[in-house]
Structure 1
Amino acid sequence: MNFNHKIIWITGASSGIGKSLAFALSKEHTKLILSSRNEAQLNAVKNACEHPENVNILPLDLEDYINLPSKVEEALSLYGAVDILFNNGGISQRSFVKDTSIAVDKRLMDVNYLGTVALSKALLPHFIEKNSGHFVVITSIVGKIGTPLRSSYAASKHALHGFFDSLRAEVYDRNIKVTLACPGFVQTNISINALTGNGTAQNKLDTAIKNGLTPEAFVEKLLKAVRQKKQEVYIGGFKEKLAVYVKRFFPKLLSKMIRKFAVT
């Protein structure tokens, strides 16, 4: 796949992976739509892109999933079409199950799962009408493997795999592609913004995140996978990727390994 002249929509575009995606794709002469809750940061990202004249911002809140269909209408009015949607927006969690309020569980599902699903479902008729499109969903290695302090986050990411695997099977004959990308540890603010058991932000950078891939390195591998139209890709360090295959073939061994993992 060549990204040139593609119309690409990125959620979670104000920082981290989404910001790096915007920078990388702007160099490929695309037309971009950047979304997140923070309009000021979106404007800063736009102005730092190589071709800001080909970038529009569209603030939205994934948690307000009931109103996302109107955001799709706005997005389509900007360029007349969308070719690729990068579902990148979301939040994480750092708390034990016993300490996590049900309100936190609900918020994780509202933002990570229902927000992403609602936006994708609202855009799907457009993809069907033009008989082409590509959903790229940033999930997590934790979307394949549940680990301590990530119960609600893992649940929301596991749910995305179930939904988009089903969608892929339903639209295969419509020339609509689905790529599920599972990051390991990437140097973003995800752990700083992660919710604790009472819903407040952790406000601390995890050591594993600090030592993870740079967003630029992650994006390079991600775009390669999207070009190849891969169905699923794991992008991270050796241990994170190894864990996926250990779970597949030696699940009891992985259970023992996870108990010994550092939880932050």
Structure 2
Amino acid sequence: MAKRENLEHKVVWITGASSGIGKALAKECALQGAQVILTARRYEELEKVRVSLLNPERHLSVCADITNESQVLHAYEQVLARKGRIDWLINNAGLSQRALIADTTMLTERTIMEVDYFSQVFLTKTVLPTFLQQKHGRIIFVSSVAALLGTQYRASYSAAKSAIHMWANSLRAEVAEQGVQVSVVFPGFVNTNVSFNALNGEGKPQGHQDEAIENGLDADVFAKNTVKALMAGDEYIVVGGAKEKLGVLVSRLSPSTLYKMIRKTKVK
């Protein structure tokens, strides 16, 4: 049995940390003794999260738009200047979608891919030299069960989340012998504000909550289960309800059966 990783005093950098899953992960990592770096666009919101964490003086708010490469580079410099190292990088910032393919503009397609794929690739490539120099660390991507299934109203989102999953698989193979670990987390429905911010076909926020998200897993429960799995060294982590876990299982055993199930499912 592999030894469980200890987060005491480790530096954990989390993007999309001002709310939802990112905020919950920050809370759980802080409870496990980590020094947490919180990143999102709104500094005031980050500070609200920081002061709510256990031992707030240990943690750091670093403001950046993850789609802005110069801001990301500046944030990286700040993290290294203040903490000297990074033990975990949690690529969590993301953008969902609620629109049919026929109604989705190419600009919206590109916007979702920019946030959910390209920005995570750039941040990871920026931080990677530090991990390789340290010869240890874990890079984590928060993907989605949608990356494994592909459903109506989420085509661009599913594609971007699947893309980062495959990119992570390649990264894992390339750095495994250099002490760097790579994990991908696949959340099912988690009760956050993700559906409020999900883009419609024209690229505007949907502005209301989905029933499935509202009835989803509590964000703190999600974070507790996820951090426990990461500390155990897991690389492929599905966290969700029975429906989502069943879907993932069927996707492995019989893709054609899954496709028939999805056609009959109301997913919006």
**TM-score, length-normalised on structure 1?**
0.98
Match of 1:146 among 136, 150, 167: 150
Match of 1:108 among 107, 112, 119: 112
Q: Deviations over 1:140-180 (max 9, x none)?
A: 00111110000110010010011110000000111100110
Alignment partner of 2:130: what SS? Answer: helix
**TM alignment of 1:90-129, pairs within 5 A:** 90-129=94-133
Alignment partner of 2:203: what SS? Answer: coil
**1:67 Cα offset (Å):** 4.5
Match of 2:137 among 121, 133, 154: 133
| Cα distance in 2, alignment partners of residues 239 and 172 from structure 1 | 33
| Cα distance in 2, alignment partners of residues 119 and 158 from structure 1 | 18
Q: Does 1:189 align with 2:154?
A: no
Q: Deviations over 1:161-210 (max 9, x none)?
A: 11110000000111100110000000000001000000110001000001
Q: Does 1:36 align with 2:40?
A: yes
Alignment partner of 2:72: what SS? Answer: helix
8 Å Cα contact 2:64-2:71 kept in structure 1: no
In structure 2, give the amino acid aligned to 1:93.
Answer: Q
**TM-score, length-normalised on structure 2?**
0.96
Match of 2:244 among 240, 246, 260: 240
Q: May I ask how many residue pairs the two structures share in their alignment?
A: 264
**1:66 Cα offset (Å):** 5.5
Which stretches in structure 1 are left out of the alignment for 5+ residues? none
Match of 2:182 among 167, 170, 178: 178
**1:102 Cα offset (Å):** 0.4
| Cα distance in 1, alignment partners of residues 196 and 115 from structure 2 | 17
8 Å Cα contact 1:139-1:182 kept in structure 2: yes
Alignment partner of 2:149: what SS? Answer: coil
Q: Does 1:19 align with 2:23?
A: yes
Which stretches in structure 2 are left out of the alignment for 5+ residues? none
**Percent of residue pairs bearing the same amino acid type:** 39
**TM alignment of 1:59-70, pairs within 5 A:** 59-65=63-69, 67-70=71-74
Runs of 4+ in 1 over 3 A off after TM superposition: none
| Cα distance in 1, alignment partners of residues 25 and 174 from structure 2 | 28
| Cα distance in 2, alignment partners of residues 143 and 69 from structure 1 | 28
| Cα distance in 2, alignment partners of residues 227 and 155 from structure 1 | 28
Match of 1:211 among 211, 215, 219: 215
Q: Deviations over 1:182-241 (max 9, x none)?
A: 000000000010000001100010000011100011011101110111110111011101
